Amino acid sequence: MASAVDVSYETAGPDDGPVLVLSNSLGSTIAMWDPQVPTLAERLRVVRYDHRGHGGSPVPPGPYSLDDLGADALALLDHLGLERVHWCGLSLGGMVGMWLAINAPERIDRLVLCCTSAQLGPPDMWAERAATVRAEGVEAIADAGIGRWLTEGFIAREPEKTAAVRAMLVATPDEGYAGCCAAIEHMDLIPELGAIRAPTLVIAGRQDPATPPEHGERIAAGIPGARLELVDAAHLATIEQPDVMTDLIAGHLAA
């Protein structure tokens, strides 16, 4: 049975604007949305939060389930008195968004799913990664993580931004990272995608080795009326193609 924790969050933008919740990837914090917030907060009330085990949120003992992460999100909406919101999630945040649109459809208005998957195997890979992190720390998987998150070209062009992203990753609590690996390990949302009624934009990175475009194609094919857009980026497209991503998100929410 899922039990919610009170996650860390911050808000920006007009109090009376439509609400957009931004939900992070595994191993990141609300900082991954820094390039998007100034523009999105001109018209929207933007809520960013850290998953359990990440950033400023509590770190309960793992493993965690997607039900747990969904319960945390619903508890946040309840705490803020938000009956219905737009949701934009990247990777793990997109998985939570799909879970919400399936299990609490009345809470989700429009949905943006970035660089994510409805089933991301093989399961033993996630179990092994969690075990490595518990034994050796997030630092042990950081360089491989950056290689999935950013293209070689971006890493070469933007050493300072790359260093900041790596620092964000290695600051993730080991138990939080490993706990969320378990949520991905056991996830299979593909059979339930057809239940999603929220107008959905799926964005995939052409150079994303973590969730390649076929994962986005599968989601878009499974959700009635969903639209797929491809961007020239690896996994953290919000960092690598900030303006393109902001425009796509804003455009879908304004439609």
Which sequence spans correspond to the domains of the chain?
Answer: 9-254
Is residue 16 packed enough to be buried (19+ CB in 10 Å), middle (13-18) or exposed (0-12)? Answer: exposed
The two structure tokens encoding residue 185: 């390990």
0.95 cut: is pTM over it? Answer: yes
Tens-binned pLDDT, residue by residue, of the chain (255 aa): 578 999 999 999 999 999 999 999 999 999 999 999 999 999 999 999 999 999 999 999 999 999 999 999 999 999 999 999 999 999 999 999 999 999 999 999 999 999 999 999 999 999 999 999 999 999 999 999 999 999 999 999 999 999 999 999 999 999 999 999 999 999 999 999 999 999 999 999 999 999 999 999 999 999 999 999 999 999 999 999 999 999 999 999 998
Is residue 79 within 8 A of residue 59, CB to CB? The reply is: no
Is residue 133 within 8 A of residue 140, CB to CB? The reply is: yes
Domain spanning 9-254, CATH architecture: 3-Layer(aba) Sandwich (3.40)
User: How would you list the strands of the sheet with 9-12, edge to edge?
Assistant: 9-12, 45-49, 19-23, 85-90, 108-114, 200-205, 227-231
Q: Which residue is it, tokens 């639209």?
A: 227
